[in-house]
Every structure is written in C-alpha cells, then in structure tokens.
Structure 1
Amino acid sequence: MTNGTQLPAYHFDTQRVRAGYEPTEHNNAVSPPIYQSTAYDFKDVEHARNLFSFQEAGNLYTRVGNPTVAVLEQRVAALDGAAGAVALASGMAAISYTLLNLAEGGGRILASPYLYGGSADSFKKVYPKLGIQFDYAKNILNPEKLAEEITPDTKAVFIESISNPNTVLLDVDAIAKAAHEQGIPLVVDNTIATPYLFNPIAHGADIVIYSATKGLNGHGNIIGGLVLESGSFNWESEKFPQFSEKYYTLRESNGNHRSFPEVFPDFPFTTRIRFNYLNYFGAAIGPFDAYLAIIGLETLSERLTKQSQNAVTLAEYLNAHESVEWVRYPALEDSPHHTLYQRDFKNGAGGILSFGFKGTQEQREIFLNAIRLFHYHVNIGDARSLIVNSPQTTHGELEADEKAAADIPENLIRISAGLEDPADLIADLEQAFQKATK
C-alpha cells in the first residue's frame, strides 16, 4: 500500500527523483527496475496468510500491486503530499474508479462546466445508467454560492485545476471550503498543472486525479492514470455507507469482518479502489509504462518551467496578431484568471493555451493543414508542441449548448507548448497564418 506521508521530508525537486525508491532494496540498481512479473512467490504458508490478511505488506499479483508501479505511486504521493495513491491504466480509469467509489449505489456529482470533453461525454453517456447523475455548477466561479447547488444526494464536487482547453482557473480553497461545509469531498483533476505547478491537497482537495499520459510523463509514450487521497476526509460518515461496509476479505485472524477505514485508516479511499475496482475491473498499469512515467517525473520541473515560458511567449505573440480574435492563458495580464494565477501558480501556468482564429472555417482548416513543426493531434503535455481544433476533436462530443456552457466557441484552437525554441514555433504559426489569410 502507498503511504506518501512516511517518506522523508525532502524538497520537491529531490522527491521527483528519489521518492519511493531505495536502491539497497533492489540489488543496488540506481534506476528502478522493471518488475515484469505476473505474480510473486510466497516464502511459506505463514507469509501467504499474512499477505492475504493484510498483516504484512508485500506483493501478490501485478494486477493489484507491482514493485515498479509502487515506486510511481509513492513518488507522486510524495510530490502531492498525499496519504495514499493507486496507479491505473489510464486517466479515464482514474476518473471512473473515483466516481464509482464515491457514488456507489447512486448519487449526484456537482461538476465544473469547464472539463475535458471525454469526461463530460462519459458523464452523460455512462454514469446515469449506473445511477450516478451529474449537475453542472452554475456558481463554480462564485464559490460562496456553491452551497445552493449541493443537494442531500450530492457525493462530491469535481473540478479541473487548469481546465482543458480554456485554462480556466478556479478558487480551489473556496470550493473546498464550500464542499466541506456540506460534508462532501472535493475531487480535483490536476492533469494539466501537475504537482509542480499546483498542489490541490495543500488547497483543500480530498481526492486528486491524474492522467499520467500527459505532463507527469511528458513524452507521449504511455497511457496511465493515478488517484491520490489527502487522508483527512471522514469516509465513515452516513453519506458514504459503502466505506463502513465490512468485508470477509478484510477479516481479522479471529474471523471478525472489517471495513476499509478500519484496516487502512490513513488511506481507505485508494485502497478501496485497489481491492474492489482495480482488482475486479482490472485497469492495471503495466510495469514498463510505470517505469516510463517514473523516468518522465525526473525532469518534471524543467519541462513544466520551459513549457510555461514557451506558452507565455506564444500567448503574447498571438495576443498581438491580426488574425487572432482572443487568447486564453492565465499568465496574460488581461486574463480574467490572472489574479488567481498570481496567487496560486508561482511556478507558471503550464503549456496549454487557446486562441480564437479570426477567419472562416475554410481559412482555419488551411491554417491547421499548413502547420509544419507543431504536431496536429489530441494529446497534451508532450515534450513536443501540439496543436488541435478542440471543438471539432477533443470536445467534439459536446452538443452546441454544452459547448456554450463550457465557453468553447467553434473557432477555438488549442496549443500544448513543448520544449522547442519559441522562435521556431512562432515562425511555424506565422507561415501558417500567412497561407490561411492570403
């Protein structure tokens, strides 16, 4: 099990390279080994008994735990100041297991309207058939009024720390306060920010979700996700009866059944995901993918710093361009989110920005087809710079009224700034603008 609070209190840049791994426990290998093994031998019958009764920590089967995956879990938990973490096969698995764990048996989730299109589409297509309904908060930008939208059946508030694609910033502290006053947790998808730019738990979040596919890994070569918990929320309240349920599989040696908070008091949320949803739904991240994520984390600060700097440069260039209607990026002084950016994002606003193309649909498509250096696809957080027409791709699932609620106009183009020289990126955009508008 992963307990980030037991790790040494090193600074962030030490933790991203060293947390969760002790070479002497792995034949003195400097880099974490890839444990490409399905299962693990028991020392003897007593060892097996202790593992299955949770009297002893160890490895049973890679679907629910693997030494390489454990390094990833512990390292990200350390960076976020989390009590526990569980790594999964994708960011969508992290979202789905979190929501199912929260609203098992039915309930409502109060969600920000500013979300990734895949999240929003799953909220209307999948979860209602499982008894989970979603309400989109009208007061997410005015948290003092958020309590008016929380019903007795609301199980959580769900937001993104930096929204995709509009880079909307929210007052996470105030939203957490509003949620806690109503006895429900705050869930923050921190994929774009990563723990380097923003630490949701330090601002009151109870659950943090990542698509490790994006900035955490940063090289566009894995699919992965994580769920983390703060360790401070009371999961034994009447609102979450599933956490007080006692299981035979958690029994004591004398046969008494126990609940997850009883067995894992510091991190019941993520262990319940591990042994219920991960164990039986099976979205396990492979050890090689976990290894690549670990290697990506080692350069997290440098990558996010350079990407943030490149994004600022691109945003300023676009903001002054005659073929651009508007630019959305929190570091710009004219951004409506600039005050929150200055307060909460000391290391930068990340590599994601969007702009409105001033021209016809045909010109917009000529512009995108003329791009040479940027990669035209739907990922974000890559070392390479990416560009995409989000309303027609990543958010193409949204209907017109849903796009309007999320403030995603049809002329929006999203950029994920990479690590190239910004002068080359600007030159590429400029030649594409010239071809589109001649």
Structure 2
Amino acid sequence: MLFRLNQLAHLGAVTLGLVSAHPLVQTNLRGFDVIPNHYIITLKDDITTHSLQVHMDWVQSLSGNDSPMEGIRKQWNIGSWRAYSGSFDDETLAQIRTHDAVEAIESSTLVRTMEEITEYNATWGLESISHRDRAYDDNDHDYVYDSSAGNGTYAYIIDTGVRTTHDEFEGRATKGADGINEDIAGDLCGHGTHVAGTLAGKTYGVAKKASIISVNVFGGYCHIGVPTEVILAGYQWAVDNITATGREQVSVISMSLGGRERSHAKNRAIKAAWQLGILTVVAAGNDGRDAAYYSPASVAEAVTVAAITYNDARAPFSNWGGSVDIFAPGVDIKSAGNSNDTATLIKSGTSMSTPHISGLVLYLKSLMPTLTDTPEATVNFLKALATKGVVENARRAPNLLGFNGHGVLKL
C-alpha cells in the first residue's frame, strides 16, 4: 500500500503574509523553510460529507485550467480532522480564506529529522531506562527488562525508512509505505534504521520483541527535509493501517522529526489520532529553545520527548519547556546502522531520545495491557512510573525520566 508525492516543490524562504480575522491563519513564526505558494487548509470539525465535496469542487474550480498553480494536491481524513493541501495563487487563497468551512490556513514548510550529530562508538541508554540509580563511571551497562519485551505490539516509525533485513530486527521489521519513491528499498539515510534499533532491536532496543512498520517519508532527502504534506500523508497511512487492523491498543506512532514552527495541521492530525485511541510519541527538537514553538512537539495529545546526557543533564541542544512530557537518553546512542545487516552507528539528538520512550510505551503495553488501553491511560502510567527530579537543568519541563520498572513494576 503506497502513497506518493508527485514532485518536491521548489524550495524557498518567504513569509505567508496574510492578515484575516475570518479563519485562524497560521504563519511560519520565524520565516524558516516555507515552500512558496504551497498551503495546508484545515476545515472545521462539523463539516458534512456533502459540504466537504462541494467545498473541494469549488476550490478546484477556482484554480482553473489557465492557472499556473496546481490546485489541490492531497486530502486527509483522520477522525474529526479534515484537511487538504494545494498550490494556490494569492487571489485563490484569498477566496479560500473567507470560506465559512475553513478553520486554518498555513504555509507548507520543510520537516527534518531531529538528529544532532553522528559518531562511531559506545552505549548507555538502556541502562538509564531500567535503573533509577546507576554507576555513571561504569562502562559495563546492563538492561533489566521483563521477557514480554513488547511482544504483540507494533511500532509505526515515520522516518527515513528502515533496513528491514538488519540482524537487529530478526524478521520483525516490514515496509509499510513509501512517500517519496516506491522503488526505494530500506533506508538511504540511516536515521530511521537507528531509531528502529533503539525502539525494538534485539541488542539495542527497549521493546525487543515488538514489530516494526516502516513509513518512509524522507527517501533520500536526509538533511534537506520534505514538505509537511508528505509527513501528513505518512501519518494518515499509519493511522489508517492501525485502525484497519484493530491495533489501536497495541501500537505507537514514533516521529523523530519536526519543523521549526508550530503547525496547526500536524497538531490537529495527532489530536484526531489520539481521539481514535492512537498514541504518538514525538521529538522535542534540537534548537535549545522552548518546544512550544515547534510541531509536532507542541501538541498536547502526544508524548513529547526531550534528551538527557549520560550524566542525567538536559542535553544542551534539547528543546525544553512545558510542552515536554518526559526525558530520555539522547547523546551518544549506539544502535543499528543502514550500510549492511550488522552495521551500527552512534547518534545524538531528540531523535534518539524519542524511540527510547516509544519502545517503553510498547514494553508497558505488552506487560500491563489493562493500564495502557487508551492514550491517556498510557501517558499517565508512563509518567507515574518515571524517575522524578533527577534531570539537571530541566528548564520548566516536567522533571521526569523514562523508566521501565527495573523488570518488576513497583509504583
């Protein structure tokens, strides 16, 4: 099952420049990574199926055959959230902006992975997840966990793809969807494979028996980034697959990515999935700023993960603030690499802290299903179990560090 981006738009950096009190108009708050003339329009929750079709037909008619703009490009439908993207000129956009069905308009922007640096030796993150107290000067790390280890659960990893044949995954990793090019096999960048290894690898993973579904939204655009609409298409695919297979209570969507702005569309999509019973775990971001200004880090209906160093201090690059839910290891994390089936890489970033918590969510779902049967219950359990007050310089973020109960859960 595939979704496809027709062609990446020409990239640039301009502001949206719209002022209107009619719908909520989103702009790129700091002028970063805007794709000119490409927009995402969120519709009001109460729109009927008939009204939706009438609206879409009307919008497409505005573009006309003589317009240089493409018109409507993609549509999304997750729970109560209805939205579409398109390429529109100023005149067309002005008409869309005044339509009663429109809730929000925002520029499409580039979204990137949240990797900070790459190195080539060491690991300690699993020990941190399974110990409230640990020997900081000890190089012999141990990970204590229950043998259920995420068995029967599913990780939907929206990323650069996964080398599914890697030895770390023992045949548990499959290709779910490819948003850039259906002919791309595996992971051209290494980021998604590393994330998957931390989440569910046999050696480096938190949930060592979980199944991995790769949703490749980056293709080979490892550092350039891709438009918001590609991320949303991948997210829609993951939600649709989870609901079609009845996996809401045993799945997590893991997103080690983000844009340098708040996105109404991304936040609404994740909220809609939450309302369907699907939990998403997201990266806080790597700019050392308040995560409230980033998406999807700012969405309340997700678990937003910030990074710590080996000494339990907030990593200097990690975003912070009240939008953060929890901390996890994010510096010098060793995991699977993409160059061959035994390769390893060491990476740092909130991209690396995120799969520690995504894996922990699946570990807890496998071990304690009655306490994790809804997103709200899962988050409450995750936070109740967390180690409190040990993160240095949490900077207005809840001082909670991910913890798995040391094999035997004791709240």
TM-score, scaled relative to structure 1:
0.30
Greater share of helix residues, 1 or 2? 1
Larger Cα Rg: Structure 1 or Structure 2?
A: 1
